[in-house]
Amino acid sequence: SHDKKWWKEAVIYQIYPASFCDSNGDGIGDLPGITSKLDYLASLGVNAIWVCPMYDSPQVDMGYDISNYEDVYPPYGTVQDMETLIRETHARGMRVMLDLVINHTSDQHAWFKEARSAKDNPKRDWYIWRPARHSPTGERLPPNNWRCNFGGGSAWEWDERTGEYYLHLFATEQPDLNWENPATRKAIFASAMEFWLDRGVDGFRVDTVNMYSKPPGLPDAPVIDPQAPFQPAGLLYCNGPRMHEFLGEMNAILSRYGAITVGELPHTPDMNRVLDYVSAKAKQLDMVFQFDVVDVGFGATHKYETTPKNFALADFKAAIDRTQGLIRGTDGWTTVFLENHDQARSVSRFADDGPEYRVRSAKLLALLEVCLSGTQYVYQGQEIGCVNTPKDTYPLENYLDIDSCLFLKMVKERHGADNTAELDKAFDALQHLARDHARVPMPWNGKARFGGFSEAAERAGKEIKEPWMKHHPLAGEINAASQLDDPESVLAFWRKMIGFRREHVDLFVYGNFRDLRPQDEHLFVFVKEPQHEGGDKALVVLNFTAQERQWQVPGGAELGVSDATEKLEAIMSTHAGKAKAGVLAPFEGQVYLVR
Ligand code: TEU
Ligand code: CA
């Protein structure tokens, strides 16, 4: 059973600093910009913000390549601006979480510069170095066949000067730290964690938390893709043997500060394995992000080697069922999210982003999320129903993310740079799934330039520059300003839904989830039941199609009550007016209390 905790009931809003709000008109979002929007966030009803990496960085992977944990990327502001942001967030009764990126640093971090300077440098062992292998013909080969996370290249980079390879599970410019060395761990904890905990942050979203401990001997991964020179190896290099020892050390520090954590847990399909991280008894992490739901529709050997909407509704529901199952009868905890900075927009992926249905779709997904158990996360722009940038008005040249760019490079290498059919297929995949969709500047105001990204600077009469990434071509139709006073807007609906969730925490935050129609390809019909016997239940019915649908009101036995039909009380609909039991309009969602 689950003890009640503030962070379990919290709604946490994720901010991507480069793209949230530009206060000075230089085209890059910044910390004063975030501070200027805190009242907006407080009025939405969120309890905490999670700020993506704002540390000093060459920005090869948008701040996930950190060159100095104890400083801020200058275009974003200063450590003092962070202190102001923390203070002002606290003053509004909200908490602050930062991103903790400690599997790797930037290759521009002072530690790595030292490490690569010479084999006998004291910091050499802070990273992972190995000699080359050689083919029978004497060709130099990397130490194993692992593919890095971006594109199709090796996870190893040859260092000419010292004649060894170093490991980078992500970009070449993101060398992996060697957690086996206790001095490295000590330095990581002091620099990346304590420095900011001492400045008042309330917790961390922990990046790639299960990759710190590598498998002994760094063995080759099984060949999944015989065509490719390097193999996806996530299942091999995640969840290594010393993970829990390392997290135990980390937790000893975090718990001194009462800091909360949510760890990102890729490549971990086994729920018992997930529980090792997040069971309350294990004292490792408070929450985890599982990938089951956001990976739906990804290609099997490479996430972008797929076609749009390449999944069944049943797959989406099954993924939700798995993550919801984590809390059933355990002391573990889960999270609810459909978006983050690594994902395309949920309306485009899981519902319908065409002009006719996108508002309904955004409300449908909002209703789904607030009825699911776990800690709720909302990504910037999700609250106003942002959709992916369209193919015809946002060309491939506008995509800037390293993951997208290296995927395109791989496609060109494999199929030829002038293979228009393959390139167009790649564009379709990126238009549907690329991380770029989450990273276009937040559309604050459709009437201001660049969707209002630098609105305040423009109002103050400053010269404003084009945003670092092209703004959303639909900013005129989808933006915060036009929704603020519109009671029918997605924004108004999200605000209402956050309140709705809070009125029924026993059901929606802590309750058990039971899918009544797992195979239904049109409707998502589930029940939420309190953890303990007795008390009201909730019935949630969601129409994932553009057609009006009849639905059979479930019988008492299915709902787990003696006589159902008379006891259903409609308490919420995505549509105006009262819900009608048995009928759903296109993309309508309804909730009933079952007494
Ligand atoms: O992502 C980690 C991750 O596991 C990847 O699957 C990621 O989702 C990416 O899309 C791979 O294709 C985290 C961060 O959230 C991401 O932004 C960073 O790029 C990455 O770590 C490296 O720090
Ligand atoms: Ca700026």
Per-residue pLDDT of the chain (595 residues; tens, 9 = 90+): 678 999 999 999 999 999 999 999 999 999 999 999 999 999 999 999 999 999 999 999 999 999 999 999 999 999 999 999 999 999 999 999 999 999 999 999 999 999 999 999 999 999 999 999 999 999 999 999 999 999 999 999 999 999 999 999 999 999 999 999 999 999 999 999 999 999 999 999 999 999 999 999 999 999 998 989 999 999 999 999 999 999 999 999 999 999 999 999 999 999 999 999 999 999 999 999 999 999 999 999 899 999 999 999 999 999 999 999 999 999 999 999 999 999 999 999 999 999 999 999 999 999 999 999 999 999 999 999 999 999 999 999 999 999 999 999 999 999 999 999 999 999 999 999 999 999 999 999 999 999 999 999 999 999 999 999 999 999 999 999 999 999 999 999 999 999 999 999 999 999 999 999 999 999 999 999 999 888 899 999 999 999 999 999 998 889 988 765 568 999 999 998 778 889 999 999 999 999 8
- E strands in 57-159: 68-72, 95-100, 129-130, 133-134, 140-141, 156-159
Q: Give CA angle at 83 (210, 45), nearest 5°.
A: 75
Question: Is this model's pTM higher than 0.90 or not?
Answer: yes
Asked if 79 and 34 touch (Cβ cutoff 8 Å), the reply is no
Q: Which residue has the tokens 């309750």?
A: 511
Is beta strand 55-56 parallel, antiparallel or unpaired with respect to 68-72? antiparallel
Out of 14, 67, 101, 208, give the residue to mutate to test ligand 1, the one with the largest number of ligand atoms within 8 Å of its CB.
208
First to last CA, the chain: 23
Out of 15, 57, 64, give the residue to mutate to test ligand 1, the one with the largest number of ligand atoms within 8 Å of its CB.
64
Does ipTM top 0.90? yes
> Residue 343 CA: which ligand 1 atom is closest?
10
C-alpha of residue 495 to centroid of ligand 2, in Å:
28
Tell me the CA distances in angstroms from 378 to 13, 382, 438, one per residue in order: 5, 7, 12
3-state SS, residue 33: helix
3-state SS, residue 156: strand
Asked if 387 and 358 touch (Cβ cutoff 8 Å), the reply is yes
C-alpha of residue 24 to centroid of ligand 2, in Å:
5
C-alpha of residue 150 to centroid of ligand 2, in Å:
28
Does 477 participate in catalysis according to the annotation?
A: no
Does 264 participate in catalysis according to the annotation?
A: yes
Tell me the CA distances in angstroms from 68 to 196, 472, 521, one per residue in order: 12, 31, 49
Residue nearest to atom 18 of ligand 1 (CA): 64
DSSP type of residue 298: -
- Whether ligand 1 lies within 6 angstroms of the CB of 403 is answered as yes
C-alpha of residue 89 to centroid of ligand 1, in Å:
27
Report which secondary-structure segment, H or E, holds 18.
helix 17-20
- Whether ligand 1 lies within 6 angstroms of the CB of 61 is answered as yes
Q: Which of 176, 207, 536, 588 is catalytic?
A: 207
91/514 Cα distance (integer angstroms): 39
Q: Which of 65, 164, 264, 403 is catalytic?
A: 264
Which sign, positive or negative, has the C-alpha torsion 280, 98, 45, 453? negative
523/120 Cα distance (integer angstroms): 63
C-alpha of residue 565 to centroid of ligand 1, in Å:
47
Phi, psi of 420 (to 5 degrees): -65, -30
